[in-house]
Every structure is written in structure tokens, then in C-alpha cells.
Amino acid sequence: MAARKYSHSALKTAQRCLKQWSYKYIDRLEPKDRPKYFEEGSDLHELLEKLYAEGLGFDEYVDLYDQSKPEHQAILNRYSEFWEEEDKDWEVVFVEEDLEMKVGPYTVVFKPDLVIRLHGNLWVVDHKTVAEIPDETDPYNMSDFQHLLYLEGVRQHTGEMPAGFVFNYVRRKLPRQPELVKKGDRIADLRRMDTDYDTLHRFAEAHGQLSDPDVQEKLKILNLTPNRYFQRHYITANETAIDEAYWDTYMELQKLNESERTHTYPRHVLGGYAGSAACARCPYQPLCFSEMMGINTDVVALDYIERPKREK
């Protein structure tokens, strides 16, 4: 079989499990009901894309984004306010552009969320809309395979090695808006309040509560701890890690190519390092396990629809 072109998301699926890849790209199945967090994530993601593609001012967002959920507009407004100063130094190079990279004889099509120039260096930005922002020192996040490969792709495209990548974390909820207790003489539920410094400070100032020692204590804590709603983790590039990612990808593509040639798509769950826990978030799990156990899949199959045809 001739060397093929694969989208980066197809490659990621194949790395996860070749059986999952065959459900998605050969049978073109997708679950009828996608989990809600997918919709929320993609809506916010689109807003971020528009923000950097169109370079809008703070007041213009609401009108332009009126197709989006109000809470997402509010998150984006808060986001742009939070990053207003830092974003002045971000020079947008390209936004969500389809790029191609060669990996051995294969071509991988990929689309970084955003590439910026900051103080003379290129950075690849990945918007991450999350329920909770992970710890910046978590080594798993620092070595995310996909991003190492993106650095190589951007290097091939621009001829310049990026300085690294930026995980641009946006939490899928707004800082909690404080409220006064019924008597109106103090702020309710301060201790457990999941909010950020600016939100509490603004409210306390507007309601004459800034001198309350409990408010001051809470503001001190919020000021000393990383913001729980918006964070950017800058990870610098490492040539060795990028090389490793490149060659691992090459081997994965060889495996995928061989699977396509022989029409055999082994289940990840049967691999020695995987186990059924690795399948917990797989959308094809009911179908896959039913087939594996020799159970009639007619009923389970009703939960899937055929995806529109796209490039593999």
C-alpha cells in the first residue's frame, strides 16, 4: 500500500487503539449522544479561535458571539480581561491553520490551535478547556506527546524551531460571584467560595466589605495561589524529546499502515499494558466488548450513527 496521509486526530486514535480507529475511520461510526463536556469544550474553543483570529476588542465579543451560550461568552470576557496585558505581547502568527508534516514516507495533517511570536520566539498554543486545571509540575502534562510532534510540524512549516508550547487552560465555569448574607452586613460562605481574586475584590469593594478581616484573609490566599480559572503553562522545547516523538510516531504509522494492509485491528484492551481500565472513556466500548464476547450487537449498534465522510 502506498504511503498515506493521516490527520493528526486519526493518528492519535490509532495510538490509543487500532480497533477504535477501525470503528471510527473504517466503519465511520460515532455515538448518537456525545458527552456534554465535548459540546461545552468545542463551543469555548471556537470562541477562543475567533478571539485570536479576529483580534477583537473587549466590548465587541458579546455581539459577535451571540450564537454561543451566555455562560461561555461570560467566560471569554473574563478570560480576555484576565489576559489583557499578557496578550499585548502575543503576536498571532496563525490560527487553526491546516499544516502538513512529513514523518518518514507518511504525511500527517495537523492543526495547531494557535501559533504566536513572543519576544522573538515562536510558541505553539493549545487551548485546553477543562473542569479543573492540573498541577503545572505534573510530568505527564509536560511531556504530552501530541505537542512535541506539533513542534516538529511547525518547524517543518516555518523553518524555525519553536521555543516550546503553551497550554492555555480555561476552566469551563466562571469564578463564583459572591453574595451578601441576608442581613447584608458580610459576604456569605467566604471560606468555601470557589472564586478568583478580581471577582471577590470587585464585589467586596462595591459592597464596602474590603476591610472585613475574613475578606482580607481570603483575598490574601487567592493572591498567593495560582488562579484556578485561567492559567498558561509554558513548556520549553527539548530536541531529544521531539526526536523521540517523531520516531515513535513513525513506528505507530508503520503499525497503522500494516493494519490497513492486512485488515486487522487489534484491541488495545488485550495488550499487556492496557487492560479494561484503558477503555473506560472509549465511546465504542459497548460495541467492542459485545463483539469480543460474541454477544448479538444489534441493539447496541442502535446507539451509533454513521459519520459524514472525511479524510483519514
Residue whose cell numbers read 461570560: 74
Q: Are 49 and 168 in contact (CB under 8 A)?
A: no
Nearer to ligand SF4, 61 or 284 (CB): 284
Residue 12 makes contact with ligand SF4 by CB under 6 A: no
C-beta of 95: minimal distance to ligand SF4 in Å? 32
Q: Are 126 and 166 a contacting pair, CB within 8 Å? A: yes
**Contact between 141 and ligand SF4 per CB under 6 A:** no
Q: Which is nearer to ligand SF4, 6 or 23 (CB)?
A: 23
φ, ψ of residue 52 in degrees (nearest 5)? -85, -25
Measured from the CB atom, is 7 or 290 closer to ligand SF4?
290
Residue ranges in 248-277 that form contacts with ligand SF4 under rule CB under 6 A = 267-269
Distance CA 100, CA 116 (A): 18
CB nearer ligand SF4, residue 24 or residue 233: 24
Nearer to ligand SF4, 281 or 309 (CB): 281
For residue 301, give the nearest of 37, 36, 23 by alpha carbon: 23
Distance of alpha carbon 92 from alpha carbon 169, whole angstroms? 18
Binding mask 287-306 for ligand SF4 (x = CB under 6 A): -x------------------
Give dist(CA 82, CA 59) in Å, integer: 14
Q: Give the whole-angstrom CA distance, residue 216 versus residue 212.
A: 6
Q: Does 284 participate in binding ligand SF4 (rule CB under 6 A)?
A: yes
The residue ranges that bind ligand SF4 (CB under 6 A) are 17, 19-20, 267-269, 279, 282, 284-285, 288
